[in-house]
Protein backbone atom coordinates (compact mmCIF):
# COMPACT_ATOMS: atom_id res chain seq x y z
CA UNK A 1 0.00 0.00 0.00
CA UNK A 2 2.63 2.53 1.09
CA UNK A 3 5.97 2.95 -0.64
CA UNK A 4 7.96 1.87 2.41
CA UNK A 5 6.12 -1.46 2.59
CA UNK A 6 8.34 -3.15 -0.01
CA UNK A 7 10.51 -4.82 2.64
CA UNK A 8 8.45 -5.42 5.79
CA UNK A 9 11.28 -7.25 7.62
CA UNK A 10 13.10 -3.97 8.19
CA UNK A 11 10.06 -2.15 9.56
CA UNK A 12 9.09 -1.72 13.17
CA UNK A 13 6.31 -0.35 15.33
CA UNK A 14 3.64 1.78 13.73
CA UNK A 15 5.15 1.62 10.26
CA UNK A 16 5.04 -2.18 10.35
CA UNK A 17 1.46 -2.05 11.62
CA UNK A 18 0.38 0.38 8.93
CA UNK A 19 1.76 -1.97 6.27
CA UNK A 20 0.32 -5.05 7.97
CA UNK A 21 -3.16 -3.57 8.24
CA UNK A 22 -3.26 -2.62 4.56
CA UNK A 23 -2.35 -5.96 2.96
CA UNK A 24 -4.72 -7.27 0.30
CA UNK A 25 -6.02 -9.77 2.81
CA UNK A 26 -6.92 -7.05 5.30
CA UNK A 27 -8.67 -5.07 2.60
CA UNK A 28 -10.82 -8.17 1.98
CA UNK A 29 -11.57 -8.16 5.72
CA UNK A 30 -12.71 -4.51 5.63
CA UNK A 31 -14.69 -5.20 2.49
CA UNK A 32 -16.48 -8.03 4.33
CA UNK A 33 -17.87 -5.47 6.82
CA UNK A 34 -19.53 -3.79 3.84
CA UNK A 35 -20.92 -7.15 2.71
CA UNK A 36 -22.43 -7.83 6.13
CA UNK A 37 -23.95 -4.34 6.42
CA UNK A 38 -25.38 -4.59 2.91
CA UNK A 39 -26.82 -7.99 3.71
CA UNK A 40 -28.54 -6.58 6.80
CA UNK A 41 -29.78 -3.52 4.95
CA UNK A 42 -31.33 -5.65 2.21
CA UNK A 43 -32.51 -8.58 4.31
CA UNK A 44 -34.38 -6.60 6.96
CA UNK A 45 -36.95 -4.98 4.64
CA UNK A 46 -37.33 -8.14 2.53
CA UNK A 47 -37.88 -10.25 5.66
CA UNK A 48 -40.41 -7.70 6.91
CA UNK A 49 -42.23 -7.97 3.61
CA UNK A 50 -42.26 -11.78 3.84
CA UNK A 51 -43.49 -11.45 7.41
CA UNK A 52 -46.26 -9.07 6.45
CA UNK A 53 -47.33 -11.39 3.63
CA UNK A 54 -47.24 -14.38 5.97
CA UNK A 55 -49.28 -12.62 8.65
CA UNK A 56 -51.90 -11.39 6.19
CA UNK A 57 -52.12 -14.86 4.65
CA UNK A 58 -52.48 -16.50 8.08
CA UNK A 59 -55.36 -14.10 8.92
CA UNK A 60 -57.06 -14.62 5.59
CA UNK A 61 -60.65 -15.89 5.43
CA UNK A 62 -59.75 -18.01 2.40
CA UNK A 63 -58.88 -21.35 3.96
CA UNK A 64 -56.01 -22.49 1.66
CA UNK A 65 -54.31 -19.09 2.04
CA UNK A 66 -54.62 -19.27 5.82
CA UNK A 67 -53.19 -22.79 5.82
CA UNK A 68 -50.29 -21.61 3.69
CA UNK A 69 -49.55 -18.69 6.03
CA UNK A 70 -49.82 -20.77 9.17
CA UNK A 71 -47.84 -23.61 7.63
CA UNK A 72 -45.04 -21.23 6.61
CA UNK A 73 -44.85 -19.75 10.11
CA UNK A 74 -44.91 -23.12 11.88
CA UNK A 75 -42.56 -24.95 9.53
CA UNK A 76 -39.75 -22.43 9.21
CA UNK A 77 -39.80 -21.48 12.88
CA UNK A 78 -39.57 -25.13 13.85
CA UNK A 79 -36.50 -26.07 11.79
CA UNK A 80 -33.06 -25.25 13.30
CA UNK A 81 -31.35 -22.39 11.45
CA UNK A 82 -28.23 -24.34 10.57
CA UNK A 83 -30.16 -27.28 9.17
CA UNK A 84 -32.29 -24.87 7.19
CA UNK A 85 -29.26 -23.02 5.84
CA UNK A 86 -27.42 -26.16 4.82
CA UNK A 87 -30.38 -27.97 3.33
CA UNK A 88 -32.45 -25.18 1.86
CA UNK A 89 -29.68 -23.38 0.01
CA UNK A 90 -28.41 -26.50 -1.72
CA UNK A 91 -31.98 -27.52 -2.53
CA UNK A 92 -32.82 -24.05 -3.83
CA UNK A 93 -29.68 -23.91 -5.94
CA UNK A 94 -30.35 -27.35 -7.39
CA UNK A 95 -34.00 -26.48 -7.96
CA UNK A 96 -33.07 -23.41 -10.01
CA UNK A 97 -30.57 -25.43 -12.03
CA UNK A 98 -33.11 -28.20 -12.59
CA UNK A 99 -35.66 -25.72 -13.96
CA UNK A 100 -33.07 -24.13 -16.24
CA UNK A 101 -32.01 -27.59 -17.34
CA UNK A 102 -35.57 -28.50 -18.31
CA UNK A 103 -35.90 -25.30 -20.32
CA UNK A 104 -32.51 -25.17 -22.00
CA UNK A 105 -31.52 -28.79 -22.61
CA UNK A 106 -34.67 -30.70 -23.61
CA UNK A 107 -32.74 -33.42 -25.45
CA UNK A 108 -30.39 -34.36 -22.64
CA UNK A 109 -30.48 -38.13 -22.27
CA UNK A 110 -28.51 -38.74 -19.06
CA UNK A 111 -30.05 -38.86 -15.60
CA UNK A 112 -29.60 -35.72 -13.47
CA UNK A 113 -28.93 -37.67 -10.31
CA UNK A 114 -26.00 -40.01 -10.80
CA UNK A 115 -25.33 -41.55 -7.43
CA UNK A 116 -24.21 -38.64 -5.25
CA UNK A 117 -23.72 -36.33 -8.18
CA UNK A 118 -26.08 -33.66 -9.36
CA UNK A 119 -25.38 -33.24 -13.06
CA UNK A 120 -27.09 -30.72 -15.32
CA UNK A 121 -25.95 -29.57 -18.76
CA UNK A 122 -23.31 -26.83 -18.86
CA UNK A 123 -25.76 -24.19 -20.14
CA UNK A 124 -28.07 -24.74 -17.16
CA UNK A 125 -25.43 -24.08 -14.52
CA UNK A 126 -26.31 -21.14 -12.30
CA UNK A 127 -24.19 -19.11 -12.64
CA UNK A 128 -22.39 -20.51 -15.70
CA UNK A 129 -19.08 -22.09 -14.77
CA UNK A 130 -17.43 -19.77 -17.30
CA UNK A 131 -18.65 -16.69 -15.39
CA UNK A 132 -16.14 -14.65 -13.46
CA UNK A 133 -15.72 -15.29 -9.75
CA UNK A 134 -17.53 -12.10 -8.78
CA UNK A 135 -20.68 -13.35 -10.53
CA UNK A 136 -20.56 -16.45 -8.38
CA UNK A 137 -20.10 -14.29 -5.30
CA UNK A 138 -23.02 -12.01 -6.16
CA UNK A 139 -25.21 -15.05 -6.82
CA UNK A 140 -24.18 -16.54 -3.48
CA UNK A 141 -24.98 -13.25 -1.78
CA UNK A 142 -28.51 -13.18 -3.17
CA UNK A 143 -29.09 -16.79 -2.21
CA UNK A 144 -28.04 -15.74 1.29
CA UNK A 145 -30.41 -12.74 1.32
CA UNK A 146 -33.30 -14.91 0.16
CA UNK A 147 -32.62 -17.62 2.74
CA UNK A 148 -32.24 -15.11 5.57
CA UNK A 149 -35.44 -13.39 4.46
CA UNK A 150 -37.42 -16.63 4.51
CA UNK A 151 -36.16 -17.62 7.96
CA UNK A 152 -36.58 -14.22 9.59
CA UNK A 153 -39.77 -13.57 7.63
CA UNK A 154 -41.42 -16.49 9.43
CA UNK A 155 -40.56 -15.05 12.82
CA UNK A 156 -41.67 -11.59 11.71
CA UNK A 157 -44.93 -13.06 10.43
CA UNK A 158 -45.67 -14.48 13.85
CA UNK A 159 -44.90 -11.16 15.53
CA UNK A 160 -47.12 -9.21 13.10
CA UNK A 161 -49.88 -11.81 13.36
CA UNK A 162 -49.96 -11.28 17.11
CA UNK A 163 -49.70 -7.49 16.75
CA UNK A 164 -52.69 -7.37 14.40
CA UNK A 165 -54.75 -9.22 16.98
CA UNK A 166 -53.62 -6.87 19.75
CA UNK A 167 -55.20 -3.78 18.19
CA UNK A 168 -58.21 -3.01 20.42
CA UNK A 169 -61.50 -4.30 19.07
CA UNK A 170 -63.10 -0.93 19.81
CA UNK A 171 -60.90 0.75 17.20
CA UNK A 172 -62.07 -1.66 14.54
CA UNK A 173 -65.68 -1.22 15.59
CA UNK A 174 -65.37 2.52 15.24
CA UNK A 175 -64.21 2.01 11.67
CA UNK A 176 -67.19 -0.28 11.02
CA UNK A 177 -69.51 2.32 12.49
CA UNK A 178 -68.20 4.83 9.98
CA UNK A 179 -69.11 2.40 7.21
CA UNK A 180 -65.57 1.49 6.14
CA UNK A 181 -65.02 -1.71 4.18
CA UNK A 182 -62.77 -4.47 5.53
CA UNK A 183 -59.95 -3.34 3.26
CA UNK A 184 -60.29 0.25 4.44
CA UNK A 185 -60.27 -0.79 8.09
CA UNK A 186 -57.20 -2.91 7.45
CA UNK A 187 -55.37 -0.11 5.68
CA UNK A 188 -56.41 2.88 7.78
CA UNK A 189 -56.83 1.49 11.29
CA UNK A 190 -55.30 -1.95 11.75
CA UNK A 191 -51.92 -1.53 10.04
CA UNK A 192 -51.06 1.95 11.40
CA UNK A 193 -51.95 0.87 14.94
CA UNK A 194 -50.37 -2.56 15.03
CA UNK A 195 -46.74 -1.36 14.72
CA UNK A 196 -46.57 -0.29 18.32
CA UNK A 197 -47.42 -3.85 19.39
CA UNK A 198 -45.07 -5.38 16.82
CA UNK A 199 -42.02 -3.24 17.46
CA UNK A 200 -40.63 -4.96 20.59
CA UNK A 201 -40.79 -8.33 18.82
CA UNK A 202 -39.37 -6.94 15.61
CA UNK A 203 -36.52 -5.19 17.41
CA UNK A 204 -35.61 -8.53 19.00
CA UNK A 205 -35.52 -10.07 15.55
CA UNK A 206 -33.29 -7.29 14.25
CA UNK A 207 -30.82 -7.90 17.07
CA UNK A 208 -30.79 -11.63 16.36
CA UNK A 209 -30.35 -10.96 12.64
CA UNK A 210 -27.28 -8.78 13.28
CA UNK A 211 -25.66 -11.58 15.21
CA UNK A 212 -26.69 -14.27 12.73
CA UNK A 213 -24.45 -12.89 9.99
CA UNK A 214 -21.64 -15.44 10.65
CA UNK A 215 -24.03 -18.03 9.20
CA UNK A 216 -23.07 -16.42 5.90
CA UNK A 217 -19.95 -18.51 5.64
CA UNK A 218 -22.10 -21.64 5.56
CA UNK A 219 -23.41 -20.23 2.30
CA UNK A 220 -19.94 -19.63 0.89
CA UNK A 221 -19.95 -15.86 1.45
CA UNK A 222 -16.72 -14.83 3.14
CA UNK A 223 -17.92 -12.78 6.11
CA UNK A 224 -16.08 -10.91 8.86
CA UNK A 225 -15.85 -13.89 11.20
CA UNK A 226 -14.23 -16.00 8.51
CA UNK A 227 -11.62 -13.31 7.80
CA UNK A 228 -10.98 -12.70 11.51
CA UNK A 229 -10.25 -16.39 11.96
CA UNK A 230 -8.08 -16.54 8.85
CA UNK A 231 -6.11 -13.34 9.61
CA UNK A 232 -5.68 -14.10 13.29
CA UNK A 233 -4.37 -17.62 12.87
CA UNK A 234 -0.65 -18.24 13.34
CA UNK A 235 1.48 -17.11 10.41
CA UNK A 236 4.88 -18.69 9.92
CA UNK A 237 7.67 -16.71 8.17
CA UNK A 238 7.84 -19.03 5.13
CA UNK A 239 4.41 -18.09 3.86
CA UNK A 240 3.97 -14.43 4.68
CA UNK A 241 5.91 -11.18 4.96
CA UNK A 242 4.18 -10.49 8.27
CA UNK A 243 4.67 -13.51 10.56
CA UNK A 244 2.87 -13.46 13.91
CA UNK A 245 1.55 -15.81 16.57
CA UNK A 246 -2.05 -16.70 17.32
CA UNK A 247 -3.75 -13.30 17.18
CA UNK A 248 -7.31 -14.55 16.86
CA UNK A 249 -8.16 -13.12 20.28
CA UNK A 250 -7.42 -9.56 19.10
CA UNK A 251 -9.38 -9.95 15.90
CA UNK A 252 -12.35 -11.39 17.73
CA UNK A 253 -12.10 -8.63 20.33
CA UNK A 254 -12.38 -6.15 17.47
CA UNK A 255 -15.48 -8.00 16.21
CA UNK A 256 -16.93 -7.89 19.72
CA UNK A 257 -16.54 -4.12 19.83
CA UNK A 258 -18.06 -3.83 16.35
CA UNK A 259 -21.10 -5.94 17.22
CA UNK A 260 -21.64 -4.21 20.57
CA UNK A 261 -21.39 -0.78 18.96
CA UNK A 262 -23.73 -1.77 16.19
CA UNK A 263 -26.38 -3.19 18.50
CA UNK A 264 -26.14 -0.08 20.71
CA UNK A 265 -26.74 2.21 17.73
CA UNK A 266 -29.69 0.01 16.73
CA UNK A 267 -31.15 0.24 20.24
CA UNK A 268 -31.04 4.03 20.19
CA UNK A 269 -32.65 4.16 16.74
CA UNK A 270 -35.37 1.69 17.74
CA UNK A 271 -36.13 3.68 20.91
CA UNK A 272 -36.70 6.79 18.85
CA UNK A 273 -38.92 4.89 16.42
CA UNK A 274 -40.93 3.51 19.32
CA UNK A 275 -41.51 6.99 20.69
CA UNK A 276 -42.75 8.16 17.29
CA UNK A 277 -45.06 5.21 16.78
CA UNK A 278 -46.66 5.37 20.22
CA UNK A 279 -47.24 9.10 19.95
CA UNK A 280 -50.77 9.92 21.01
CA UNK A 281 -51.85 6.28 21.40
CA UNK A 282 -53.79 5.12 24.43
CA UNK A 283 -50.94 3.05 25.81
CA UNK A 284 -48.60 3.75 28.73
CA UNK A 285 -45.81 4.66 26.28
CA UNK A 286 -48.13 6.78 24.15
CA UNK A 287 -49.71 8.51 27.16
CA UNK A 288 -46.28 9.61 28.31
CA UNK A 289 -45.98 11.63 25.14
CA UNK A 290 -49.17 13.55 25.68
CA UNK A 291 -48.87 16.83 27.50
CA UNK A 292 -50.51 16.87 30.93
CA UNK A 293 -51.43 13.20 30.83
CA UNK A 294 -48.50 11.80 32.80
CA UNK A 295 -49.46 13.10 36.20
CA UNK A 296 -53.13 13.92 35.96
CA UNK A 297 -54.27 10.62 34.44
CA UNK A 298 -57.60 10.37 32.63
CA UNK A 299 -60.01 13.22 33.37
Partner 1 sequence: MKTLILSSAVLALTAGAALAESHMQTVRLGTEGAYPPYNFLNDAGEVDGFEREVGDEVCARAELTCEWVTNDWDSIIPNLVSGNYDTIIAGMSITDERDEVIDFTQNYLPPAPSAYVAASEEVDVMGDVVAAQTTTIQAGHVADSGAALLEFATPEEAVAAVRNGEAEAVFADKDFLVPIVEASGGELVFVGEDVSLGNGIGIGLRESDGELRETLDAAIQSMKDDGSLNELILKWFGEDAQTF
Task: Assess 93 for contact with partner 1 (CB under 8 A).
Answer: yes
- Give the nearest distance from C-beta 279 to partner 1 in angstroms: 48
Site string for partner 1, 205-244 (x = CB under 8 A): ------------xx-x-x------xx--xx-xxxxxxxx-
Computed on alpha carbons and rounded to an integer, the radius of gyration of the chain in Å comes to 26
CB burial of 247-263 (b: ≥16 within 10 Å; e: otherwise) equals eeeebeeebeeeeeebe
From candidates 15, 21, 28, 210, binder to partner 1 by CB under 8 A: 28
Q: 266: which DSSP letter?
A: H
Helix (H) or strand (E) holding 118: strand 117-118
75/82 with CB nearer partner 1: 82
Examine residue 11 and say whether the peptide bond preceding it is cis (omega within 30 degrees of 0). no
Task: Assess 27 for contact with partner 1 (CB under 8 A).
Answer: yes
Instruction: State how far the Cα of 163 lies from the Cα of 273, in Å rounded to an integer.
Output: 16
Q: 235: which DSSP letter?
A: B
Task: Assess 97 for contact with partner 1 (CB under 8 A).
Answer: yes
- Give the nearest distance from C-beta 243 to partner 1 in angstroms: 7
Is the alpha carbon torsion for 288, 177, 53, 80 positive or negative?
Answer: positive
- Give the nearest distance from C-beta 125 to partner 1 in angstroms: 7
From candidates 21, 79, 136, 171, binder to partner 1 by CB under 8 A: 136
Task: Assess 114 for contact with partner 1 (CB under 8 A).
Answer: yes
23/184 with CB nearer partner 1: 23
- Give the Cβ contact number of residue 14 at 10 Å: 8
Instruction: State how far the Cα of 70 lies from the Cα of 58, in Å rounded to an integer.
Output: 5
134/295 with CB nearer partner 1: 134
50/242 with CB nearer partner 1: 242
Question: Is residue 193 within 8 Å of 174, Cβ to Cβ?
Answer: no
List residues binding partner 1 (CB under 8 A): 23-25, 27-28, 86, 90, 93-94, 97, 114-120, 125, 129-130, 133, 136, 217-218, 220, 222, 229-230, 233-234, 236-243, 246, 248
Amino acid sequence: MFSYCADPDTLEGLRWLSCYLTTGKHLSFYWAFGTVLLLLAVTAPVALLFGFGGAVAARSRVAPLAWFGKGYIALVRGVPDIAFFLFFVIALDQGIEWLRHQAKCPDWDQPIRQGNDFVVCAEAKMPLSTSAQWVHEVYGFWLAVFTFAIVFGAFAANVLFGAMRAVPRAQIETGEAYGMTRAQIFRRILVPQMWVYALPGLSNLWMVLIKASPLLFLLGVEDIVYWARELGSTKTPQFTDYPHGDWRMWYFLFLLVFYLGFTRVSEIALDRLMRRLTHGQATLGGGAGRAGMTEAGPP
